[in-house]
Chain A
Amino acid sequence: MSKIIEAKNLVYEYYKEDDNGKVIDKIKALNDFSVDIYSGEFLVVLGHNGSGKSTFAKHLNGILTAKSGTLIVDGFDMKDEKNIFPVRQNVGMVFQNPDNQIVATIVEEDVAFGVENLGLPQKEIRQRVDDALETVGMSQFKKRSPNQLSGGQKQKIAIAGIIAMRPKCIVFDEATAMLDPTSRKHVMETMQMLNKKYGITIIHITHYMQEAILASRIIVMEKGKLYLESTPKEVFKNVDELKRIGLDVPDATYLIYLLNKQGLNLDPTILTTEEVVNALCQLK
């Protein structure tokens, strides 16, 4: 598999200044952070608030630029400012609050907003907008006003706006945090579909461990560094360690962990309801 993102020794600092603009403190949001992300991956990024997840995400399309280290996205070196625009066409971002991402008063105009700026013929824009709405299953809403939509539907509109750009990679920065369980499920299904059917690389930042089990790989960030990196099964079996750094594990994994503490001998990499039930039925 080819690498779509190569991050090497990234450092990014936030400065704390006093009233006179003098720097009184520096916080290393990324502290020698390195990771490779491969084309077609479904990568989930975990970490507590302030661990550097969003800071990293914002580097991926040039919203932030690292102080040192190298970041190659889709073959472009992000240090060079003139690379930012080509990269932004290929790396889309969906943020947490759907209301902050909607700019137009009609759904299809909102979806067209990004793609209109690519200098494409009118016909092509029309086609792409229609296709994008079709892909996320929102075609019947295209003439509606976004403010009549639910949170999950608005997120799908935001996703459609990015799909219309035909990106290679989409970064979801806690894009499910404000949604109800069903909307969350729909957005997760959309992500999986984009990944499987269209081969789009998905990078999903979340605090919901249930969503993380869908990943092909998980990275856990802590204090601006890469802390753990593996498949969901291998990551979540580290219950004590994850809880210590402010994270959680799926209920199924935690149940197995508690039962094993009581002296049972069950597979600690269990993640799903079916796996737990099967394992316990065998003991009965």
Chain B
Amino acid sequence: MSIEIKNLSHVYQENSPFEKKALTDINITIDKGDFIGIIGHTGSGKSTLIQMFNGLIQPTTGTVLINGIDINDEKTAQKAIRQKVGLVFQYPEHQLFELTVLKDVEYGPKNLGLSEAEIKDRVEKSLRAVSLPENLWENAPFSLSGGQKRRVAIAGVMAMEPEILVLDEPTAGLDPKGRDELFMQLKTMHKELGITIILISHSMEDVAKYAEKLIVLSEGRVKFTGTPREIFQHTIELEQIGLAPPQIKYIVNSLIEHGFTLDNSILSTEEAATEITKILK
């Protein structure tokens, strides 16, 4: 499943004193099987943009095509298409409400009118996909740790069997190990189930490590698109729009300035260590 956004602009509260331009002239294509990170300062339009992906917000102008179909055209099967795009909001664990993990995850599929067996199958698959240990399935969601709760919330969206999974800051508030684990989980789901993953993050270290492509937003416009290696070469431009490459990038840049012959697209500490060792030995 692909997403194509054409000439999209969005204005909140148009023609009122509170009119605010959220997105301006966005043109992007997301291909099936992409793993995309969206970065940008607070208020750059990231959250508005991802809500366009399944029609939660309709753009003021422009079109959103999913597999070539305009999702905001009333003549299309909007509901069916939107179900293929699962959205996980910020702090999704705040939306858990059921008495047990299993009940919470089955809430969505139950509303699709599926058979008992199908529901059970989807719920179990989703909980396995997020690696939530089976001995916790009968527990109250509120008794779980922060990272576990977040997995349950993601499983709830996975149970709808989306082809595109969109996550708004999935790792905010998680510790470094929790962040790594959740990203590894998303990577695995991406690889094994072929799901397209789009996520918003404020952690430049994380998107540098895990995303295959980045979309950089600033003041409602697309500033850059490309691989993390390409994007993070724009150190100064990124700083100007409220972002900052990971520390290792600054170290590499500074070493190059001091006469070290290093590839200026290096983004991981491991890679930097290997290259520096070669020079010094």
Contacts and interface: CB of A to CB of B under 8 A. Distances in A.
Interface of A: 16, 47-50, 96-97, 148, 150-152, 174, 177-185, 207, 209-210, 246-248, 250-252, 254-255, 258-259, 262, 264, 273-274, 276-277, 280-281, 283-284
A120 B246 CA distance: 47
Given A50-B145, A183-B242, A262-B277, A178 B169 contact: yes
Contacts of A210: 247
A254 B143 CA distance: 35
5 contacts: A50-B146, A248-B176, A251-B247, A251-B248, A255-B276
Nearest to A53: B175
For the complex of A and B, the 5 pairs showing the least CB-CB separation, nearest first, are A246-B177, A258-B273, A182-B242, A248-B176, A251-B247
* Size bracket of the B interface: 35 or more
A284 B260 contact: yes
B173 interface: yes
Interface string B236-256: 000100111011101100110
Given A50-B146, A255-B251, A273-B250, 16 more contacts: A49-B178, A97-B91, A150-B41, A178-B169, A182-B41, A207-B179, A246-B178, A247-B175, A247-B176, A247-B177, A251-B269, A254-B269, A273-B247, A274-B254, A277-B258, A283-B280
B144 to A, nearest CB: 10
B33 interface: no
B77 interface: no
B184 interface: no
A183 B41 contact: yes
Nearest to A145: B18
B259 interface: yes
Contacts of A148: 20
Given A97-B91, A247-B176, A258-B273, A252 B42 contact: no
B172 interface: yes
Contacts of B273: 255, 258-259, 262
B41 to A, nearest CB: 5
A48 B269 contact: no
Nearest to B253: A273
Contacts of B42: 150-152, 179-180, 183
Given A252-B247, A255-B273, A181 B143 contact: no
Contacts of A96: 173
Interface in B197-254: 202, 204-205, 239, 242-244, 246-248, 250-251, 254
Contacts of A181: 202, 204, 242-244
Contacts of B43: 150-151
A255 B248 contact: yes
Contacts of B173: 49, 96, 174, 177-178, 207
A185 B250 CA distance: 16
A277 B276 CA distance: 11
Nearest to A149: B43
Interface string B175-194: 11111000000000000000
B174 A252 contact: no
Contacts of A259: 273, 276-277
B145 A182 contact: no
B40 interface: yes
Contacts of A48: 175-178
A49 B145 contact: yes
Nearest to A262: B277
B147 interface: yes
Nearest to A274: B254
Contacts of B146: 49-50
A264 B280 contact: yes
Given A183-B42, A280-B276, A177 B172 contact: yes
Nearest to B248: A251
B176 to A, nearest CB: 4
B14 to A, nearest CB: 16
A164 to B, nearest CB: 24
Contacts of A277: 251, 254-255, 258
Contacts of B175: 47-49, 207, 246-247
A284 to B, nearest CB: 7
B176 A246 contact: yes
A183 to B, nearest CB: 6
Interface centre among B42, B146, B179, B205 (most CB of A within 10 A): B42
B251 A251 contact: yes
